[in-house]
Amino acid sequence: MTTLLAGTQTQDTQAATTPADALEMLRAGNRRFVEGRLIERPWNEQVEATAGGQYPLAVVLGCIDSRVPVEKVFDQGIGDIFTGRVAGNVVNEDQLGSMEFACKIAGAKAVIVLGHTSCGAVKGAIGNARLGNLTTLVQKIEPTVQRVSAEMDADDPSFTDRVAEAHVSAMVDSIREKSSVLAEMEQNGEIAIQGAMYDISNGEVRFL
């Protein structure tokens, strides 16, 4: 089997990449992850190569769930993607500001909201969890729980994952609504804003 070798993203490679290219890079990386043929990376060389600057191709907002290591499931190396993580992949001002920096200042070509199956934060929202600051977080997911509840029985085995997927879509909408910077960049074709779901049972990412 041929060994795949990885280079480090540069200003030139980033500039030559379109939003569609960035999305395909992530799709291809996930296919490699699922198939068990991860790229061999010279990690020490990538550390040195990125010490003076970074030119990632995408920014991913994922959940803190330990089963969803974002860089790994997309088979990306040092300097390839920006990653923000918060329980339930909830969009807030800090995450929006980070995305705006990643795209407008640092040149990333895609924004991905990555949810996943069997999400604990979503389960907490479904169960009306109340615990310190967790209360505020799950309350941001509860409106989606209510919307999905109007469409299907909460006892359905697929209910949690349906809420998680709907929540991803809601967060994508929230990015467009709350960040005029990112919305304008998307309208101008400079970036893509996309939702996706990771299946913890098989490692596959499905773009929505």
Total structural domains within the chain: 1
In the beta sheet, which residues pair with residue 205? 198
Q: Whole-angstrom Cα distance, residue 91 to residue 63? A: 11
Q: How confident is the model at residue 202 (pLDDT cuts 50, 70, 90)?
A: very high
Q: With 50 as the cut, is the pLDDT of residue 192 above it? A: yes
Q: How confident is the model at residue 73 (pLDDT cuts 50, 70, 90)?
A: very high
Strand 192-198 relative to strand 205-207, pairing: antiparallel
- Check: pTM over 0.85? Answer yes or no: yes
Q: What is the mean pLDDT of residues 118-142?
A: 96
Q: 1 lies in a domain?
A: no
Q: 4 lies in a domain?
A: no
Q: 6 lies in a domain?
A: no
**Residue 42: what residue type?**
P
Domain enclosing residue 69, as ranges: 11-207
Mean pLDDT of the chain: 94
CATH classification of the domain holding 102: 3.40.1050.10
Q: What is the mean pLDDT of residues 125-150?
A: 96
Q: 131 lies in a domain?
A: yes
Q: Whole-angstrom Cα distance, residue 168 to residue 130? A: 22
Q: With 70 as the cut, is the pLDDT of residue 5 above it? A: no
Q: Which two tokens stand for residue 46?
A: 């990538």
Q: Which residues of 67-94 are buried (b: 16+ CB within 10 A; e: fewer)?
A: ebebeebbbbbbbbbbbbbbbbbbbeee
Q: Work out the percent of the chain whose per-residue pLDDT is above 70.
A: 97
Q: What is the mean pLDDT of residues 108-127?
A: 97
Q: How confident is the model at residue 65 (pLDDT cuts 50, 70, 90)?
A: very high
Q: 167 lies in a domain?
A: yes
Q: 112 lies in a domain?
A: yes
Q: 164 lies in a domain?
A: yes
Q: What is the mean pLDDT of residues 189-205?
A: 98
Question: End-to-end distance of the chain based on CA atoms, in angstroms?
Answer: 32
Q: What is the pLDDT of residues 77-107, one digit of tens each?
A: 999 999 999 999 999 999 999 999 999 999 9
CA 38 to chain centre: 19
Q: How confident is the model at residue 33 (pLDDT cuts 50, 70, 90)?
A: very high
pLDDT for position 6: 67
In 3D, which of 75, 31, 36 has the Cα closest to residue 57?
75
pLDDT for position 45: 87
Say how many C-beta atoms besides its own lie within 10 A of residue 190's C-beta. Answer: 16
Pair 111, 191: CB distance under 8 Å? yes
Q: Work out the percent of the chain whose per-residue pLDDT is above 90.
A: 86
Q: 79 lies in a domain?
A: yes
Q: How confident is the model at residue 2 (pLDDT cuts 50, 70, 90)?
A: very low
Q: What is the mean pLDDT of residues 164-185?
A: 98
